[in-house]
Each structure stands twice: as structure tokens, then as C-alpha cells.
């Protein structure tokens, strides 16, 4: 272990990254936020700050470094807008007030590619009913930056904040659709598996889906998180650790497409540890779980929603996979298996 240098795993969304951020940024940093805030120490999908009148300002930020910038099912522009919209939604926001967009370009970057990305951002913003209100442009020299990096920040106002730490024993775990699509699509494209036609990233803004569920079953949803870097395994491990509960997943209930299964087998990668960019994981009160799934399935982005697990008091902080033949522990991934996945 070389602890005096930053390594790829520190940016990969898993355990190594959380440890770095906790050590460097969170420890000993009193944030001075008002009572009732969700700040850096919570390490949630974003922050929430009370602004009076029972309202919270929600804010979230992400840098997008994906390679390749155009991939099956999307591109870096769609990813940047969706990623930020989804993080707002994961805090309980049901509409976005504004997005900001800071772009860093490599000297010589093709203008046509930038126009295509801009157009993709515009379309995705329209889908999400979210305006980009301000931005920044920097250019770095060749060899100083690879292509394009887009950092988006989102701001929303909400009356209810949903945390990622709210799981209770007995809750059901619901996912809003198939798992592993983004990660496997990008990996297949990078490895030229030749199956990209069938395998597409799920990248999409899912705030309208989350809003649809919260409007019908707001009280039933106990926790929300999007399974991006590190996939469902990473998101659920973090949720379980924060709530001090265990989670048992039913392997046979996990919605995974045939294409993802095929690519995962070829690449030797578990679909549970790779990024999704258009999905949410929810904790849902047991008695409402079926109704929540039915409501999710009414929405085009929730057609494959499913109950996939149960929150327990066993093995707090751990994720257990029930295969139908036995149970095994799912290790929290150190990080995403592939760098630059989002």
C-alpha cells in the first residue's frame, strides 16, 4: 500500500474513496450549518439546509470524467445533467430550481463534438424540466486534460428531505429497474465486445419517477440512494452501515437484463458492483412495498421496478445475498472496477 499518493481507487466510489474523504475533508471540519441540516459529514447524495418557512435548500455537485464521452445509450452531456438531477431527487427534491455547468476542454477539442454534447444537455434538461442558469469554461493544454470534463451542480428547494440513512428493520428494498446497464455498456464499448448494439446505458434523469412515487407514497419511503459508482452493492452497503442494519438481497428477484448478464459473464464482472445512471434504490415500509412497485411501474422509467430485499437486524452494516440455495456475504466493493465510468 502506498498511502502517500492518491490512487485510482480513491476516485472509484467505493470504500477507499469514502475513507479518503472522511479522513481528509470531514474529520474535524465543523460545518457551522444550522440545526436540521444535512452537511458534508452525512456523506449523502447532496446537502440540505433549512431556509425558513419549512423549506430546505438542496445542493449537490459532481464532476463527470467518463471515457469514452459518447457511449451506447448516452454521452457525457446527458450523464452530467442526469447525474446531478438524480442526486437532487435522491435527497427528496421533486423539482430542480437550477443547474450550473462548468466545462473544461482540451485545446483542439472538436467543436462538432462540443455542439453535440451541448445539444444532448439541452434535451436532457428539457426532460428534467431544469434550466442551466450559469456556467464556466476553461481550456487546458494538450496532455493536460483528456478531452472534456463537465462539472454540474444542482439546486432545489424541498419541504421534505429523504436521507440515505433511514432504513429500518423490516423495510423492503426496492430498485426502480434493471441493474448494471450503464457500467456494462461502457465497459463493453471500451473492450470492443461488439455487443454494444444490444447493451445500452440506462442514463436518464429520474426525478419525475421519484416525484411520482413520493407524491403517492411519500411516507412509505424511508431511504433513497442512487446506485452509481460501485453499483447496488456499494449503495446498499453504505445505506446499511449508516442505519446500523443488515440487508438481505434475493438474487432471483434482481432485475438484470439478458444483455447485461451476457456481458458480465464475458467480462467476469458482477453486475451488482457497477454503476447505474438512471436507477434508484429505496427503503420502503413493508406494508407499502407492493403498492410502491405498482406505482413505479406506471412510469416509463420504472417499468422493471421490483422488491429485491429486506432490511434485517442481522449482520449490521452488511449485505447478504440469498441465492435460493444458500446465503453469502457481498463484500462492499473497494471501488468501481473501471475508472472513468461517470
Instruction: Looking at residues 89 to 148 of the shown chain, list those that interact with a second copy (rule: CB under 8 A).
Output: 97-98, 100-112, 114-115, 118, 122, 129, 131-141, 143-146
Asked if residue 19 binds a second copy (CB under 8 A), the reply is no
Burial class (CB in 10 A: 0-12, 13-18, 19+), 141: exposed
Closest by CA position to 37, among listed 161, 172, 181: 161
Q: Which of residues 228-267 bind a second copy (CB under 8 A)?
A: none
Q: Cβ of residue 182: shortest distance to a second copy, in angstroms? A: 16
Pick the binder of a second copy from 36, 218, 244, 339 (CB under 8 A).
339
Q: What is the DSSP letter of 177?
A: S
- C-alpha distances (whole Å) from 161 to each of 33, 54, 106, 210 are 16, 11, 38, 13
Residue with cell 451542480: 153
Asked if residue 54 binds a second copy (CB under 8 A), the reply is no
Of residues 61 and 241, the one with the C-beta less far from a second copy: 61
Asked if residue 298 binds a second copy (CB under 8 A), the reply is no
Q: Cβ of residue 37: shortest distance to a second copy, in angstroms? A: 8
Q: Cβ of residue 299: shortest distance to a second copy, in angstroms? A: 22
Widest Cα–Cα separation across the chain: 57
Asked if residue 190 binds a second copy (CB under 8 A), the reply is no
Q: Cβ of residue 205: shortest distance to a second copy, in angstroms? A: 15
Pick the binder of a second copy from 37, 241, 251, 304 (CB under 8 A).
37
Of residues 134 and 215, the one with the C-beta less far from a second copy: 134
Contact region with a second copy (CB under 8 A), list: 3-11, 194-202, 211-219, 286-294: 3-11
Q: Cβ of residue 61: shortest distance to a second copy, in angstroms? A: 4
Give the count of residues interacting with a second copy (CB under 8 A).
Answer: 79
d(CA 31, CA 26): 9
Is the distance from CB of 224 to CB of 267 less than 8 angstroms?
no
DSSP H/E element including 63: strand 55-64
Asked if residue 62 binds a second copy (CB under 8 A), the reply is yes
Contact region with a second copy (CB under 8 A), list: 37-45, 176-184, 241-249, 313-321: 37-45
Closest by CA position to 271, among listed 336, 209, 198: 336
Of residues 8 and 294, the one with the C-beta less far from a second copy: 8
Is the distance from CB of 179 to CB of 260 less than 8 angstroms?
yes
d(CA 40, CA 38): 7
Q: Cβ of residue 250: shortest distance to a second copy, in angstroms? A: 32
Here's the x/- map for a second copy, 149-188, by CB under 8 A: it reads as x-x-x-x-x-------------------------------
Q: Cβ of residue 170: shortest distance to a second copy, in angstroms? A: 30
Which residues does 246 contact at the CB level (< 8 Å), separation at least 6?
240, 311, 312, 313, 314, 315, 316, 317, 318, 319, 320
d(CA 177, CA 175): 6
Closest by CA position to 59, among listed 47, 42, 45, 44: 47
Q: Cβ of residue 125: shortest distance to a second copy, in angstroms? A: 9
Of residues 17 and 187, the one with the C-beta less far from a second copy: 17
Of residues 20 and 291, the one with the C-beta less far from a second copy: 20
Q: Cβ of residue 83: shortest distance to a second copy, in angstroms? A: 9
- C-alpha distances (whole Å) from 14 to each of 18, 171, 310 are 6, 24, 22
Amino acid at each position: 500500500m502506498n498511502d502517500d499518493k492518491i490512487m485510482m481507487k480513491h476516485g472509484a466510489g467505493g470504500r477507499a474513496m469514502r475513507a479518503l474523504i472522511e479522513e481528509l475533508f470531514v474529520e474535524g471540519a465543523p460545518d457551522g450549518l444550522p440545526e436540521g441540516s444535512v452537511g458534508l459529514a452525512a456523506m449523502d447524495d447532496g446537502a440540505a439546509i433549512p431556509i425558513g418557512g419549512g423549506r430546505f435548500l438542496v445542493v449537490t455537485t459532481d464532476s463527470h470524467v467518463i471515457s469514452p464521452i459518447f457511449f451506447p445509450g448516452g454521452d457525457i452531456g446527458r450523464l452530467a445533467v442526469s447525474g446531478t438531477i438524480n442526486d437532487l431527487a435522491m435527497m427528496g427534491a421533486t423539482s430542480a430550481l437550477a443547474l450550473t455547468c462548468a466545462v473544461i476542454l482540451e485545446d483542439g477539442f472538436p467543436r462538432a463534438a462540443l455542439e453535440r454534447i451541448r445539444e444532448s444537455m439541452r434535451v436532457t434538461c428539457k426532460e428534467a424540466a431544469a434550466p442551466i442558469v450559469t456556467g464556466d469554461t476553461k481550456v487546458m493544454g494538450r496532455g493536460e486534460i483528456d478531452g472534456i470534463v463537465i462539472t454540474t451542480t444542482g439546486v432545489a428547494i424541498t419541504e421534505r428531505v429523504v436521507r440515505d440513512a433511514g432504513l429500518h428493520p423490516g423495510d423492503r428494498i426496492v430498485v426502480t429497474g434493471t441493474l448494471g446497464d450503464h457500467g456494462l455498456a461502457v465497459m463493453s464499448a471500451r473492450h470492443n465486445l461488439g455487443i454494444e448494439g444490444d447493451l445500452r446505458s440506462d442514463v436518464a434523469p429520474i426525478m419525475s419517477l421519484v416525484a411520482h412515487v413520493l407524491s403517492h407514497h411519500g411516507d412509505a419511503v424511508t431511504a433513497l440512494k442512487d446506485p452509481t459508482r460501485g453499483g447496488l452493492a456499494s449503495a446498499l452497503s453504505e445505506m446499511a452501515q449508516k442505519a446500523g442494519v443488515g440487508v438481505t438481497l434475493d438474487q432471483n428477484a434482481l432485475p438484470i437484463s439478458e444483455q447485461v448478464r451476457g456481458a458480465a459473464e464475458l467480462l467476469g464482472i458482477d453486475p451488482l458492483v457497477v454503476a447505474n445512471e438512471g436507477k434508484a434504490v429505496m427503503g420502503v415500509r413493508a406494508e407499502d412495498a407492493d403498492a410502491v412497485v405498482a406505482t413505479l411501474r406506471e412510469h416509463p422509467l420504472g417499468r422493471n421496478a421490483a422488491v429485491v430485499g429486506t432490511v434485517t437486524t442481522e449482520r449490521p452494516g452488511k449485505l447478504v445475498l440469498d441465492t435460493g440455495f444458500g446465503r453469502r456475504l457481498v463484500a462492499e466493493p473497494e471501488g468501481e472496477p473501471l475508472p472513468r465510468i461517470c
